[in-house]
Structures are given as structure tokens and as C-alpha cells.
Amino acid sequence: MVSLDDLRKIFKAEQHYYTVHAQEQMALRHLRNLEVRDVILGKSAEIIEQYPEDKYSPSCLVYGVTFAKRILHVQVNSQGVVITVYEPDAKRWLEDKKTRRRS
């Protein structure tokens, strides 16, 4: 399992990286690296889903709020590689933005 403490150490040391997909999604959504750091290092950060069997290595989905009060989800693996970043969609997430809607 990926731990928030371990991710915070990686981000504080500036040893995290972004996949091409994450960079593309951030550009499309007008998200900055600083906002991703805010999510991981902020007080509101919470791992809301774990993906132990992810394609390349275990990853997790982190919920957090940026300095600009923007709610984001950051999928990051155990090595600090950011896989994707997005604002949770009300069609897929309940009002708390932490719980997936059931089909």
C-alpha cells in the first residue's frame, strides 16, 4: 500500500515526476505543479482509493484542496510518479468528492 507519509517525503524532496499523460491532463485542465504539491502536502490530503495491482506499480488516489480552494484528485504511484490529476466530476463522485458513485 502507498502511504501518504512516504508520498510527502518524496514531494518535499522534490523527487516526484509526472507522466506524459499527467502533463497533458494538467495542461488541458489548467493545473499547475504547485497545485499538485498543495494536494499532497496540504492538511486536507487523504488517500481515498488504493490500487495495489496497478499496471506498473502500486498507486493511490489522493484527495486534496489547493491553496486556491480547488478540489483535486491526484493519482500517484509509490515512487512519486504522478499518473493523472483532475477535478472530481459530480457524475462520478458523491458530494464529498471522496466517494465514487455506484452504477
Q: Range of 28's domain?
A: 4-86
In whole angstroms, what separates CA 72 from the centre of its chain? 7
Residue 58 lies in a domain: yes
Residues paired with 64 in a beta bridge: 72
Which pLDDT score, from 0 to 100, does residue 55 have? 85
Instruction: List the grid coordinates of 39.
Output: 494536494
Which pLDDT score, from 0 to 100, does residue 56 have? 84
Residue 97 lies in a domain: no
DSSP 96: T
Which pLDDT score, from 0 to 100, does residue 31 have? 95
Spatial separation of the C-alpha atoms in residues 40 and 67, rounded to whole Å: 12
pLDDT tens digits, one per residue of 49-98:
999 999 889 999 999 999 999 999 999 999 999 999 999 999 999 999 99
Query: Domain total for the chain?
Result: 1
DSSP E strand boundaries for the chain? 17-18, 46-51, 59-65, 71-77, 81-86
Look at strands 59-65 and 46-51 and give their pairing.
Answer: antiparallel
Residue 101 lies in a domain: no
Spatial separation of the C-alpha atoms in residues 24 and 74, rounded to whole Å: 14
Residue 29 lies in a domain: yes
Residue 35 lies in a domain: yes
Which pLDDT score, from 0 to 100, does residue 28 have? 96
Which pLDDT score, from 0 to 100, does residue 102 have? 87
